Amino acid sequence: MIDTDRSHVLTRVANGLGRLTLNRPRAINALDLGMIHDLHAALDAWERHPGVDLVVLDGEGDRGFCAGGDVRGLREQILSGDPDAAGVFFRAEYALNARIAEYPKPIVALADGATMGGGIGLAGHAAVRVVTERSQLAMPETRIGFTPDVGGSWLLARAPGRVGEYLALTGRTMDAADALYAGFADHLVAADTLEPLREALQNRADPASPTEIVLLFDDTAGAPSLAASRPWIDDAFAADTVAEIIERLRARPEPEAAATADTLGELSPTALTVTLEAVRRARSLPGLRAALAQEYGLVLWFAATQPDLVEGIRAQLVDKDRSPRWSPARLKDVSPGIVADAFAFEPSRPLWG
């Protein structure tokens, strides 16, 4: 057995199983650039390793798989006058997201507990995506004046009906049943059977596939709340603009619809406007790499031009006063050309190449 600790990533190889464990439990395994490099290095080393047939990706601790990326560091880069430095992190992260999706050996992701933002970028593109009764999945970027990335727009665009727009704009957290329903996960496994599952994957009897092994532990999820909410979600979030979505929500009889309208009214008008378009454009893109390239341009546009990103991170994660001052503060004051500007933005360095 090989067992090494590369910074905040544990790597182990035994009986054909390569295990990658995010190891920053105090930060709910939030990703920094070093962790991304270490994950890349392990996957590169194992791609042609004769002693590795499949990979398990999980997180240390009981709080969650991965709470996201280092957005506080992103804020500091912007405030220091160097928003282009953010491109270094995003290029490495997005390359890793694509690497996971395209990896020639099966990757089984165990998204136990909090799995948000960058955590979705790791677990959401794996070959086999496992959640537990403790799982909480979300793309909450609009809550910091930002837009879903790490291939999140690709996953959201493929959710049933208008669930993708709903999840993208509100940043709502999904439990296991909702994650399965929305296409962010494949199997539900009880948290107390994760270790037996890992042992079974390590000691599997050929020719059992990882999916066949996971199915032995598969549990039955309850009814997804998203499915029950589809009538008002599909009606409201089919509207052409965010303002019209809010108008339709307020016209609905369901209390949840009115509460959703209130939530949208508290979020960055710019982030909502751009995110709505991003999810809809992602539906017509040819694949994950194209979605990542679209997201890359958008996130660097936010970093280079939009004060809402810095303000949102301040309000939610730095000062934690939960009282962001958006600019502009009202949807009606968002520039009519903001969407065109955002999607026309050209980063100084391309994502691929």
Q: Which bin fits 219, alpha (ψ -120 to 50), beta or left (φ > 0)?
A: beta
In the set 149, 165, 178, 308, the catalytic residue is 149
What single DSSP character describes residue 315?
I
In the set 18, 68, 113, 118, the catalytic residue is 118
Q: To the nearest 10°, report the CA torsion of 345, 350, 351, 353.
A: 160
Q: Note whether 97 and 288 are within 8 A (CB).
A: yes
In the set 59, 69, 113, 121, the catalytic residue is 69
Q: How far apart are CA 319 and CA 337, in angstroms?
A: 32
Q: Report the amino acid identity of residue 293.
A: A
Tell which residue, 185, 191, 201, 150, has the closest CA to residue 12: 201
Q: Report the amino acid identity of residue 45.
A: A
Q: How far apart are CA 291 and CA 156, in angstroms?
A: 11
To the query of whether residue 69 is one of the catalytic residues in this protein, the response is: yes
What single DSSP character describes residue 126?
S
To the query of whether residue 64 is one of the catalytic residues in this protein, the response is: no
Backbone φ, ψ for residue 115 (5° rounding): -140, 100
Whether residue 231 is preceded by a cis peptide bond, meaning omega within 30 degrees of 0, is: no
Following DSSP, what letter does each residue of 134-191 receive, concatenated? T-EEE--GGGGT----TTHHHHHHTSSTTHHHHHHHH-PPB-HHHHHHHTS-SEEB-G
Q: Report the amino acid identity of residue 250.
A: R
Give the residues across from 128 on adjacent strands. 108
Q: Report the amino acid identity of residue 209.
A: S
To the query of whether residue 118 is one of the catalytic residues in this protein, the response is: yes
Residue 61 in 3-state DSSP?
Answer: coil
Q: What is the largest CA-CA distance in the chain?
A: 62
To the query of whether residue 117 is one of the catalytic residues in this protein, the response is: no
Checking DSSP bridges between strand 114-116 and strand 136-138, what pairing results, if any? parallel
Q: Report the amino acid identity of residue 126.
A: A
Active-site annotation, residues: 69, 118, 141, 149
